[in-house]
Amino acid sequence: MKTNIKIKKLNNDAKVPTYGSEFSAGADLYALTDIPVSIEPGETKLIHTGLAFAIPDGLVGLVFARSGLATKQGIAPANKVGVIDSDYRGELMVSLYNQSKETRIVENGDRIAQICFIPYYTAMFEQSDFLPETVRGEGGFGSTGTK
């Protein structure tokens, strides 16, 4: 399924997101920086993309790690999943955290994360004194086992 997403380049050098293959769910986001950005182990840095999005109502932009970057270099979004609401019109920036033991460098044009556009529901919360019973009940934090 495809949908139109309007983007605005806030900087002429910003790169429009791209999909790595025909069936990629996430579009790659690119770093926009004048100089290489050094991220020390355990450090978080905000990386500019130079882009603003007009996400249609009913969709949310979710920013995820790029699997290769996270697995091979230990760099991933600090908040694990960034949430871009449909009414936000500011620059999309990615908060990258270095979970490795080595300094990592982000250069202009590097693919730093990926964005997926997902439909969502807005909940209408209804307070209740009783909730329907389930087999699982109140079991949490590993209560269903590991195998």
pLDDT digits (tens, 9 = 90+) for 42-62: 999 999 999 999 999 999 999
Reported as a single tens digit per residue, the pLDDT across 84-102 is 999 999 999 999 999 999 9
Where b means 16+ CB within 10 Å and e means fewer, 105-138 reads: ebebebbbbbbebeeeeeeeeeeeeeeeeeeeee
What predicted TM-score, i.e. pTM, was given to this entire model? 0.90
Per-residue pLDDT tens digits for 59-75: 999 999 998 889 999 99
Six token digits for residue 113:
């994360």
Domain residue ranges of the chain, discontinuous segments joined by +: 6-118
The CATH number of the structural domain formed by 6-118 is 2.70.40.10
Instruction: Write out the DSSP string of 17-43.
Output: -EESSTT-SSEEEE---SS-EEE-TT-
